[in-house]
Each structure stands twice: as C-alpha cells, then as structure tokens.
Amino acid sequence: MKNLQLRRKIATGSAVDAYLADSNAGSVLVQVSHPEVTADPELYGRFLDTTRVTSTQHRHPALLSPEITRCEPDGSFVLVTGPVSGRTAADHLRERGPLDTAEAIRWGVRICDALEFLHAHGVVHGHLAPHNLFLDGDLLHPEVRLLDTALLLFRGTKSVPRGKILVAPEYLSPERCAGRRATPSCDVYGMGVLLHELLTKEPPFSGKGVTETRALQLHAPMPPLQPGLEEWAPVLTRCLAKRAADRYGSLAELRDVLRTLKPLETPAIEVHLGDPEPARAGELKPGDVLGRYRIEAMIGEGGMGHVFSARHLSIDRQVAIKVLRPELSRVDSQVQRFVAEAQAVNMVKHPNIIAIEDLVREGDRVYFVMELLSGKSLKVLAKDAPIELTRVVRLMRQAAEALAAAHGVGVIHRDIKPDNLVVERDAEGLDQLKVLDFGVARIRGADMNAAYRTQVGQVVGTPLWMAPEQVMGHQVDARADVYSLSMVMYVLLTRRFPFAGSDLSQVVMQRLQRDAMPVGETTFLGEQVPWQIQRLLEMGLARELAKRPVSMEWFAAALREIELGFEEHPTVDAPLRSWWNRWRS
C-alpha cells in the first residue's frame, strides 16, 4: 500500500482487518477489506454502502472513524483514519495501572457520548475493549477516542458464517454469548465491562477458555470490587445485569449517572499541587548533569516531556530545560515535532513569548534550553483569587499581541489556556505575560510542515478551551486562537464557563450546539463590564468563523483601546473604528 507501512495488527473483523501503520502524517489506523468481500458482488455492494455511511455520517470528536477511502489495484478497499498516537487504553493500564475514579468518570462520559451518537445513527459498537480506545495528548490525562468498529464488525448476508463472533468472549454481552444479534443494550453491558477493567485492570468475567468465559457471562454474578471502589458497585451491577431490561435504558442514562459519582474539578480554577511522581528508569533527577547544566528540580510535566530547572555548570545562571521523554526520543516524528516547537518560538521572538536559547540532541537525549520563569500561570493566579477587570484586560492584551506576532510569521498556537500563560514581573514591577508551550502549534511552511501535518478528524490541543472547528478536528486558522483567548478572558472575569454543563465533556460539547452565554454586565468581583468587552467576547466566542474578529491583530488593537479607555482616546484607525461603530448600532 503506497505511503503506508503496516506496523502491527490491531484486530481481525468479519469484513476487514485493522492495523496500526506509519504514514507521511505519522501513525494512523488502517482497515483493509478481506479478499472474499471484493470477490462477491452482492457482499461488495453492501460493503460499499456501509463504507459510505461510516465515512460520511460518523463524525464525532470522541470517535476515530475513517477519513480516507481508496481502492487498491487488486480491488481491495483501504480505509485510513486521521493520525493517532498509537497508544491505547490497554497500554495505559499496563504502564500506569488502573484509573482513579475521576479519570474513569471522564473517560466513561466521553465514551458514552460517542456511543450515544452511534446509536442515533443505527450503529451498535459491540467491541468495547481497552485496545479500541486510542489516547492522545497528556500521558496522565489523555484525550480518549473510540475506534468506530462498524466496518470491522460489518455484517453482510454472506460476510461471516452464522453464529460466528469475532470478539473476545470477555467483551460479549450475555445475549451475544447466546448467539443473538447485538442491540444498543449490548453496549450498555459493554460499558460495564470496560469500566470494570479501567478501574481494576481486569474484565469482570474471564475463565480458562472461551466456553468457561461465556458461561460466566451468562450466569455468574459480578465479582466483588476491591476497597475504595464501593461507589461503583451499583453502577457496574446494573450495567452488567444478565437481562437487557434490567440495565440502564440508554447510554445517556448511564452517562448522567456517571456524572453524579464525583463532580469533576474545573481546571480553570482548581489546580493540582501534589508531589510529582517518582522518576522512572532513564528519566532525569535532581543532581544529574545534562550537557552544560546540572538538574535542580522538575517544575512541569506534559504529554511530550518534562521541564526542569537547572543551573549552568560554569556560570551562576538558572535556566529551564524541556526534555523529550526517553521513549519518544527514539521516534523520528516525535523528535521532529519537539524540535519544531523550538523553531516555532524562535521564528517569533516577541517579549511576551518565552525565549528559547538552545536546542540540543545528544544521543537519546533531546532537549531545549529556555528562560526560567519565576511567575505564576493564570491557572494558579485564578486559583489564588479573582483577578480584577483592568488587570485581566492588560494581560489579555499582552497575550493577544504575542499571538498576533506569532500569526504574522505563520505560527498558530492551537493550545491557548490558563496553564500556558505565565505572569512575570518586569524591572518596574509591572505584569509581563509570557506565552509558552507551542508544542501543538501549526506552522506554515514546507520545512516544518511534516512535523505538524494534520488531517481532517485529528484533534490536537486541550478540548476545554478549543474553538468548535478545532473540537471537530477541522482545519484551523488564527481565529481558533482568538476563540481560545476569548474563552480564557471570559473565565477570568466570571469564574465560570460560557456554556452550561455538569462536567467537562458537556461543557465541550455545548459549544458545538449553541452560542456562548453573554459575559454579563458585572464581573465575579462586581465590577461593571464595559459594553466594548461584552461585544468583543461575543464576537470572539462566535461559533461561526465569519462572525469572529478578522485577526488576532485586530483583537489586540481592540483590547488596547479598551485598556486606554475608548471614550478618552478616540484616535482609532479606520478599520477598527468601523467595527466599534457597528457594535454601537
């Protein structure tokens, strides 16, 4: 297959086999049709119909569905998803152990959303196993996407012998073990199996062989849960009821129950300040020497690497060093992405963007040296206390000017959030905001495109702060950063999100369906919100691209005029004045 290098088989289906493969865009999932499908005209026609529905209707941010469909010279069909990290929930369980309750809720709610979407299109998933959950982003709190196995488990009239089931018995509902067809209730049962495994590392029913495991699915009660998981017992017991009528009536009902188990913290305000995990083999620790620097402490951790404070061996000067994770330093595409972050920052060179001093590759170590910031992130500042309106405007103006400079050289950040905005003090004791972490930036230009190439359907960044088009995995431009910065400003002023929701998943999904709630006339501190800010945030959070500010430069200019005091300083250029006048009307 041209431009695709199959790496390992993920699953065997009745009409296709699924593989993890390498492509020019990175790791992708590939589904390849069986020879008997193309040899039978009737079966081939049904397959094409199913392919069309799967590739055109199954579009959901939590679903990993085919993005590219093509026919090989031998007549076989190949379906390719957008880029994936290659890590699955099975890998996560093996490397890091069971999920805690908060993380299991977050994963469960997101998967329920995806399944509810499939059921609305008449599709039953039928294979809710950890190896079908793909993870992206932060290693500790990844984004979860469910592999859409509608084609993998395609059932044509001649596709598989009657009664043959190509799913491990640990993940079958009792009715499927008895030879009956899958229904949406089977996915409710499957969610019970999956949640049990995410919480304990083991599926609830697993015997010495297929026959024994099926018997357990049909007749055995749910095994007792270990201490600390008591609150899950009634939820899992109902999911795993032997009779479909005794289970939750839908995935929406199960999702609502999951939300009541434990409220999820709002990351805009809540900050985890716990001790870092102990270093694993191959990772740096205080006292180690890296190049010309001695490591002092780990000060941050992300999906691609760790950030350490360090001191130069010869000069009494502290720096920050971002080190690519050892397991990623052996993957060329990850190294390219890491290097491109440093290149992106150096393309901009703006006082409100963190400065990178050096980029080094020594054997398996890849790292870059940057200025050490002593300030606090906006996330921590917001946790400490509400921020007054004038300070919010000043900080957001600095962020907008930095991002406008980045956009001017073709760099779109794509991950603007309070964590990535740090507030320092300059020589005069005034706030100086720094934008950092360009690790998922999109860069215009042939030289760095390979490291950051994305396809329709790939979601990069942090969904809570994303623009609607970015949540859906569509191509983004500078207006996605405008949206995210507007979201940050809104939350700083109000200490709430502009979309209603009882948890993070619901907050994310609301922006796809409705407009943001108005910021209101007063801040959390009771300060009057000027009409200019109300209108600016209304535009910045518009779902439709055409209704947002035309550029980050314009957004920064508007904030600058607000900061100066619009009524006292009417010297506005013509394009900006026309926007203000339209707002007044």
Taking 80 as the threshold, does the pLDDT of residue 145 lie above it?
A: yes
Rounded CA separation 481/465 (Å)? 9
Tens of pLDDT, residue by residue over 103-128, are 898 899 889 988 988 888 777 888 89
Q: Do 314 and 184 reside in the same domain of the chain?
A: no
CATH number for 451: 1.10.510.10
Tens of pLDDT, residue by residue over 322-366, are 888 877 777 777 787 778 777 777 778 899 998 888 888 887 788
Rounded CA separation 19/31 (Å)? 6
How many domains would you assign to the chain?
Answer: 3
Tens of pLDDT, residue by residue over 73-107, are 777 777 777 667 778 899 899 988 999 888 898 89
Nearest to 470 by CA among 543, 397, 418: 543
Question: Between residues 266 and 475, which one has the greater pLDDT?
Answer: 475
134 — pLDDT class (breaks 50, 70, 90) = confident
Query: Which are the contacts of 19, defined by CB distance < 8 A and separation ≥ 6?
Result: 6, 7, 8, 9, 10, 29, 30, 31, 32
Catalytic residue, from 415, 437, 481, 503: name it.
415
Q: Name the residue range of residue 302's domain.
A: 289-370
Tokens of 90: 């099975």
Q: What DSSP letter does each residue of 130-164 carry, written as one string? A: GGGEEEES-SSS-EEEEE--TTTT---TTSS-TT-
Q: For residues 105 and 144, is the Cβ–Cβ distance under 8 A?
A: no
Tens of pLDDT, residue by residue over 18-64, are 787 887 767 777 878 777 766 767 666 666 666 655 555 556 778 87
**Buried b / exposed e across 269-278, counting CB within 10 Å, b at 16+?**
eebeeeeeee
Does the residue 206 lie in any domain?
Answer: yes
CATH number for 338: 3.30.200.20
Model pTM score: 0.56
Q: What share of the chain in percent tops pLDDT 90?
A: 33
471 — pLDDT class (breaks 50, 70, 90) = confident
Tens of pLDDT, residue by residue over 224-275, are 888 778 789 899 999 999 999 999 999 999 988 888 775 434 444 443 333 3
Rounded CA separation 552/540 (Å)? 10
Residue appearing with tokens 């495991």 = 213
Q: Can you give the pLDDT at residue 456?
A: 35
Does the residue 478 lie in any domain?
Answer: yes
Does the residue 497 lie in any domain?
Answer: yes
Rounded CA separation 137/154 (Å)? 30
Q: What share of the chain in percent tops pLDDT 70?
A: 77
Q: Please give the average per-residue pLDDT across 429-434, as a whole number.
A: 92
How many other CB atoms sit within 10 Å of the CB of residue 517?
15
Q: What DSSP letter does each residue of 399-429 carry, written as one string? A: HHHHHHHHHHTTEE----SGGGEEEEE-TTS
- What 8-state DSSP symbol labels residue 434? E
Taking 70 as the threshold, does the pLDDT of residue 281 lie above it?
A: no
Q: Do 382 and 495 reside in the same domain of the chain?
A: yes
Rounded CA separation 461/480 (Å)? 11
Q: Do 334 and 479 reside in the same domain of the chain?
A: no
Tokens of 297: 């402490």
Does the residue 272 lie in any domain?
Answer: no
Q: Do 387 and 339 reside in the same domain of the chain?
A: no
How many other CB atoms sit within 10 Å of the CB of residue 124?
19
Kindly calculate the radius of gyration of the chain based on its CA atoms and give it in whole angstroms.
Answer: 26
Query: From the DSSP assignment, how many helices (H) and strands (E) are in the chain?
Result: 19, 20
Element (H, E) at 468: helix 468-471
Rounded CA separation 200/223 (Å)? 11
66 — pLDDT class (breaks 50, 70, 90) = low
Query: Average pLDDT of the chain?
Result: 79
Tell me if residue 573 is catalytic.
no
Q: Do 321 and 435 reside in the same domain of the chain?
A: no
Query: Which are the contacts of 302, defined by CB distance < 8 A and separation ≥ 6?
Result: 138, 437, 439
